């Protein structure tokens, strides 16, 4: 294999070149596809003027707050479901059912309960991310090695000690995977809900606004920024994962 970096950049580079050719030759109307240089300049402009900063701030604030609420509720609940069979059987159907409902289909309902402000957006984010975390924390416990528990039982471990010393650390890698999925999901939900109602700031709001008034390069630029944010958050999580759950897969 050649240099890793070579493979890393080659496909993005091809996409960029194809995009540049098509848009500059106006094969596709600039009304749908602006040139990469126009989008790039727009990104620079959005940052230089600072107008994008409150949007980034509000989107991240909502996504993180929703995510944190999801962690605080979803992880303990999932662990309980994994640990206790009676809790598992009581809640399995409900969790699986709610998980099957497309999150965005519930947004009108959340608007009804939580109003059109930040609360409904954060609540829907927490709901969606929370369900993912419940499932992952639960599987984390279920996928734990039986022999490890048997070994602990020969040392007469039980109850909270068994949970604290064996079951919880064993579930951690899976919990981390769940966190990584749900933080990306949080960003998606927040951006979608921002497109509807009740805010003057947020990346979703800017994207839909730009589209409505045909500021197409601004729309592309904002989509791009949202993508980069998601990418960086994911990378950050992978970085943390390697350090916190260093034993994963070993």
Partner 1 sequence: MAMIEVENLSKEFYQPKNKIKTLKVLDNISFQVKDGEFVAFFGPNGCGKTTMLNVLSGIDKATSGNILINKKSPEKSKVGFVFQNYNESMLPWRTIAGNIGLALEIQGADKKKKKQTVEHLLKKVGLFEHKDKYFYELSGGMKQLTAICRAFAYEPELLIMDEPFSSLDYSTSRKMGLELLNIWKETKKTTLFVSHDIDEAIFLADKVIVLSQRPAKVKSIVEVKLPRPRKLDVLSSKEFFEIRNKILRLFEYEK
Member of 112, 161, 238, 240 binding partner 1 (CB under 8 A): 161
Mark 212-245 as b/e (b = at least 16 C-beta within 10 Å): eeebbbbbbbbbbbbeebbeebeeebeeebeeeb
235 versus 246: smaller Cβ distance to partner 1: 246
Member of 63, 166, 207, 221 binding partner 1 (CB under 8 A): 166
Six-digit token pair at 235? 């990378």
Name the residue among 173, 178, 153, 154 with its Cα closest to residue 163.
Answer: 153
Of the CA atoms within 13 Å of residue 131, those in its CB half-sphere come to 20
Name the residue among 178, 177, 194, 181 with its Cα closest to residue 230.
Answer: 181
User: Is residue 250 near partner 1 by the rule CB under 8 A?
Assistant: yes
> Which stretch in 57-65, 78-86, 155-163, 193-201 sits in contact with partner 1 by CB under 8 A?
155-163
Member of 26, 99, 142, 145 binding partner 1 (CB under 8 A): 145
> Which stretch in 1-9, 36-44, 158-166, 233-241 sits in contact with partner 1 by CB under 8 A?
158-166
User: Is residue 169 near partner 1 by the rule CB under 8 A?
Assistant: yes
Member of 147, 159, 213, 243 binding partner 1 (CB under 8 A): 147
User: Is residue 151 near partner 1 by the rule CB under 8 A?
Assistant: yes
Name the residue among 48, 77, 218 with its Cα closest to residue 138.
Answer: 77
User: Is residue 150 near partner 1 by the rule CB under 8 A?
Assistant: yes
Six-digit token pair at 181? 């999925």
148 versus 235: smaller Cβ distance to partner 1: 148
126 versus 166: smaller Cβ distance to partner 1: 166
Query: Binders of partner 1 among 190-249, rule CB under 8 A?
Result: 245-247
Asked if 182 and 67 touch (Cβ cutoff 8 Å), the reply is yes
41 versus 172: smaller Cβ distance to partner 1: 172
Name the residue among 40, 41, 42, 22 with its Cα closest to residue 32.
Answer: 22
84 versus 158: smaller Cβ distance to partner 1: 158
How many residues touch partner 1 under the rule CB under 8 A: the total is 19
User: Is residue 154 near partner 1 by the rule CB under 8 A?
Assistant: yes
Name the residue among 237, 115, 239 with its Cα closest to residue 186.
Answer: 237
> Which stretch in 4-12, 43-51, 68-76, 166-174 sits in contact with partner 1 by CB under 8 A?
166-174
Name the residue among 17, 56, 51, 53 with its Cα closest to residue 37.
Answer: 17
Q: Write down the residue that tokens 């990346």 correspond to.
A: 203
User: Is residue 155 near partner 1 by the rule CB under 8 A?
Assistant: yes
Q: Would you tell me which residues interact with partner 1 (CB under 8 A)?
A: 145, 147-148, 150-151, 153-157, 161, 165-166, 169, 172, 245-247, 250
């Amino acid at each position: 294999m050649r240099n890793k970096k070579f493979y890393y950049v080659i496909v993005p580079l091809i996409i960029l070149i194809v995009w540049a050719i098509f848009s500059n030759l106006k094969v596709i109307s600039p009304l749908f596809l602006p040139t990469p240089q126009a989008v790039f300049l727009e990104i620079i402009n959005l940052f230089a003027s600072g107008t994008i900063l409150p949007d980034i701030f509000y989107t991240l604030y909502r996504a993180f707050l929703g995510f944190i609420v999801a962690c605080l509720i979803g992880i303990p609940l999932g662990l309980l479901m994994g640990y206790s069979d009676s809790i598992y059987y009581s809640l399995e159907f409900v969790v699986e059912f709610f998980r099957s409902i497309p999150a965005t289909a519930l947004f009108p309902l959340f608007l009804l309960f939580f109003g059109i402000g930040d609360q409904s957006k954060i609540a829907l984010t927490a709901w969606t991310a929370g369900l993912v975390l419940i499932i992952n924390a639960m599987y984390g416990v279920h996928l734990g090695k039986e022999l490890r528990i048997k070994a602990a039982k020969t040392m007469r471990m039980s109850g909270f000690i068994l949970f604290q010393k064996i079951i919880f650390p064993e579930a951690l890698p899976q919990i981390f995977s769940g966190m990584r999925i749900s933080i990306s999901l949080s960003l998606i939900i927040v951006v979608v809900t921002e497109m509807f109602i009740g805010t003057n700031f947020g990346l979703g709001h800017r994207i839909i606004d730009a589209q409505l008034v045909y500021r197409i390069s601004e729309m592309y630029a904002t989509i791009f920024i949202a993508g980069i944010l998601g990418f960086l958050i994911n990378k950050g999580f992978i970085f943390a994962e390697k350090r916190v759950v260093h034993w994963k897969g070993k």
